[in-house]
Chain A
Amino acid sequence: MKRGSDLVLTDTASALGDTGYVDAHRFVIEPAAGWAAIDVREIWRYSELLYFLTWRDIKVRYKQTVIGAAWAILQPFLTMVVFSIIFGRLMHVSSGVVPYPVFSYTALLPWTFFSTAISRSSTSLVLSANLISRVYFPRIIVPLAAVLAALVDFAIAFVILLGMMLFYGIVPGVEFLTLPFFILLAILTAFGVGFWLSALNVKYRDVAYAIPFLTQFWLFVTPVVYSTSIVPQQWRWLYGLNPMAGVVEGFRWALLGQGQAPVQLIALSLISVIVLLSTGLVYFQRVEHEFADVV
């Protein structure tokens, strides 16, 4: 039988004698401090893990499926078809000057990303239980990776939108350049919700059951099938507190160049994203040290 020692330590310790290297890995273990600031440097140090977990999620998602990544297109596309028939044709929901299919698909694009991202990230910690209870790493990487992995679906589905715009002869104006901002807004919203729900789900598995209901409800208060214009003016401020309302209206404005820039709505959405994200971070930070004991 081969001796492990002969084989394992072939190119060994010389690199480790270097004290600088050792000090880089020095750490002090203490009881959890309660309210602590998020350690961005630590997360940065584990950026490769973030990359690999994202990559794993993407890689694994469509394994053993027949049509693979086409699911990323099919989901929003078929929803768009159904919406166009029911809301566009049968119920005559107003979509302004834009054809209803483009109108709804432009909204479904960020919406599908958002709902996929939050449902995946909220269960992500529990699904990584064996990782969390055995290895140290900043736990926040897990919900982060789940959200980032959903971006790939978004990118694939985006190609279809370009095709549709070509089909309907819609040429975006310079507003198009603001699109990255709205994508970022959607990502940050998903992060905020993901931090909250994933951390809560570790302790209270009820969250996993509430997610489908939550996304359904959230869809109704987001201008996906309808336009914000049907919301009474005096309630717009409340409506704008839903960050996804700002995202969706922003998408429509940036891509389809419909009407005025929804500045007021976006400003409100921006505020609530900041609140959502910062409270989510704080809550996550506060409970993260318990995960290994509870999960």
Chain B
Amino acid sequence: MMNDVAIRVENLGKRYRISGPSAAYDTLRDTVAGAVRAPVHALRHRGAHNGSEEFWALREISFDVKRGEVLGIIGRNGAGKSTLLKILSRVTRPTAGWADVCGRVGSLLEVGTGFHPELSGRENIYLNAAILGMKRDEVRRKFDVIVNFAGIGPFLDTPVKRYSSGMYMRLAFSIAAHLEPEILIVDEVLAVGDAEFQEKCLGKMRGIAQSDGRTILFVSHNMEAIQHLCSRCILLDHGHIAAAGDCRSTIAHYLSISREQARPDDWIDVSAHMGRSGTGEARFVAVRYRSDLSSIDFQPYPSGPLDIELAVESDAARSVGSLAVTITDQSGTKLINADTVLRHLNVDLKQGVNLVKVRIQEVNLNPGIYRLGLWLADPIRVHFTDRPFDYVESALEFEIVNVEEGSNMLHLNGVVPCEFELLPVG
């Protein structure tokens, strides 16, 4: 292999066997999990004919990563990003093709892997480091740095189950950060942890990117972070490389295909959406969202309004006490819950399809990808039965875009923008 290539991937493919109609699962992760959960089902339906089918999570993937290069990998959920990283970190084997990896691989995906709650911080440092492939004298050498960086000094001999989640994360990250691999894999790590933790991760990545000889594979939904850190980018879509090249054009491509799924001002059919629960007596069949600026194709923006139009189908005339629109972030944290029950408003539905329009006056969220959820319930009945009429946890993903000039900064410190200023003192 040429000396300057850190990773060479040729025709890589990964096939999973799944059982049952694949449409019953809405993400690959669910599909695979479903196939695993139903081995009996899979046994009964032997062969490729009886409902058991093959699914290529990755297909014909080829690319090179030069030593010292920071490669961004983007794509929708289920596009194959995680599968690719799992193959490159040797957690799972490919079904076809090969990859040649030159250098020690470390990954921030593994933060805290193998931590044992009963063991002390000190013990977990040694254990976790061994799991990540560090030698004992290497750990001994870096021990103090790891402890100082994590800031857990006084609690070194306390079982980690007594740690706060912040301390736990700091320790876990500190160990992973000191592994100093030649090739670093970062998967969605920015989606978990608090702002400070995310900042640390990015700081670490920046540091590695600047030092020579380090290669980074960076998977994120945060397009700004990708653009900021990566010199090159590949876009995965349905297991294929849909685009590759410089970040700007690849991201543009990504946004164009991801908007197909949930473009503002277009009706989106959710009548066959699978990720839902409820009795279905009344249910959402379509949704449309938009903001107010035609100049940005009605994309929502932080200080703008968000209109959500809902087509609700009801099997009988009823007055519903709780209709809600929720916005969650990528990690599933509910950020906004605009529920009519909070305003003591009833939504009167007639039999058939009804239109309901909700306006969030100001979304007040920083640019990024969010999920829109829908909820319809009788507040009293749901209290006793736990069964709403309809609940779609993630009806669609949408993007809140930046409209302010010159603020092309990383929004790392929170989901909510705020006004602030420096005040004169004294």
Contacts and interface: CB of A to CB of B under 8 A. Distances in A.
Interface of A: 1-13, 16-17, 19, 22-23, 25-32, 46, 48-49, 51-53, 55-56, 59-60, 63-64, 130-137, 203-204, 289, 292-294
B118 A64 contact: yes
A5 B91 contact: no
Contacts of A53: 127, 130
Contacts of A60: 116, 118-119
Interface string B140-161: 0010010001000000000000
A13 B98 contact: no
Contact of A48 (B100, B118, B135, B213): B135
Contacts of A6: 203, 207
B96 interface: yes
A223 B300 CA distance: 77
Contact of B32 (A1, A289, A293): A293
Contacts of A22: 102-103, 182
Given A49-B131, A136-B89, A5 B203 contact: yes
Contact of A3 (B32, B92, B203): B203
A93 B38 CA distance: 49
Contacts of A59: 118-119, 123
A191 B182 CA distance: 35
Interface of B: 1, 3, 16, 32, 36, 39, 86-105, 109-110, 113-114, 116, 118-119, 123, 126-127, 130-133, 135-136, 142, 145, 149, 177-178, 180, 182, 196, 199-204, 206-208, 210-214
14 contacts: A8-B177, A12-B211, A13-B213, A26-B1, A26-B103, A48-B136, A56-B119, A59-B118, A60-B116, A131-B113, A135-B89, A135-B113, A136-B91, A293-B36
A52 B125 CA distance: 11
B149 A8 contact: yes
B203 A28 contact: no
Nearest to B180: A12
A181 B328 CA distance: 62
Contacts of B127: 52-53, 55-56
A124 B243 CA distance: 42
Contacts, number: 155
Contact of A4 (B36, B39, B204): B204
Contact of A31 (B90, B95, B142): B95
Contact of B102 (A2, A9, A25, A134): A25
B135 to A, nearest CB: 6
Nearest to A293: B92
A292 B91 contact: yes
A126 B380 CA distance: 42
Contact of B131 (A12, A135, A292): A135
A60 B92 CA distance: 29
A134 B199 contact: no
Contacts of B89: 135-136
B271 to A, nearest CB: 33
Given A13-B212, A56-B119, A292 B113 contact: no
B131 A28 contact: no
Given A49-B130, A131-B131, A28 B213 contact: no
A166 B32 CA distance: 60
B101 A4 contact: no
A131 B113 CA distance: 6
Nearest first, the 7 A-B pairs at minimum CB distance are: A4-B203, A5-B207, A136-B90, A52-B130, A4-B200, A4-B204, A29-B99
A31 B10 CA distance: 12
Contacts of B200: 2, 4
Contacts of B131: 49, 52, 131, 135, 137
A48 B16 CA distance: 33
Given A1-B199, A25-B102, A56-B127, A17 B91 contact: no
Contacts of A52: 126-127, 130-131
Given A48-B136, A135-B131, A4 B119 contact: no
B239 to A, nearest CB: 15
Nearest to A63: B118
A29 B207 contact: no
Contacts of A23: 102
Contacts of A28: 98-101
Contact of B113 (A4, A5, A30, A134): A134
B96 A13 contact: no
Contact of B90 (A1, A27, A48): A27
B296 to A, nearest CB: 32
B199 to A, nearest CB: 6
A131 to B, nearest CB: 5
Nearest to A64: B118
A30 B94 contact: yes
B98 A30 contact: yes
Given A4-B204, A17-B212, A293-B32, 7 more contacts: A9-B204, A23-B102, A26-B1, A30-B94, A31-B93, A136-B90, A289-B93
Contacts of B126: 52
Given A293-B32, A293-B92, A135 B86 contact: no
A63 B127 CA distance: 17
Contacts of A64: 118
A294 B36 contact: yes
B92 A292 contact: yes
Contacts of B177: 4, 8
Nearest to A46: B133
A293 B37 CA distance: 12
B110 A16 contact: no
B98 A25 contact: no
Contact of A131 (B98, B114, B201, B211): B114
Contacts of A26: 1, 100-103
A138 to B, nearest CB: 10
A222 to B, nearest CB: 33
Contacts of A8: 149, 177-178, 203-204, 207-208
A287 to B, nearest CB: 11
B208 A9 contact: yes
B16 A293 contact: yes
A136 B109 CA distance: 12
A283 B87 CA distance: 22
Contact of B87 (A2, A13, A29, A294): A29
A266 B177 CA distance: 52
Nearest to A27: B101
B119 A135 contact: no
B39 A203 contact: yes
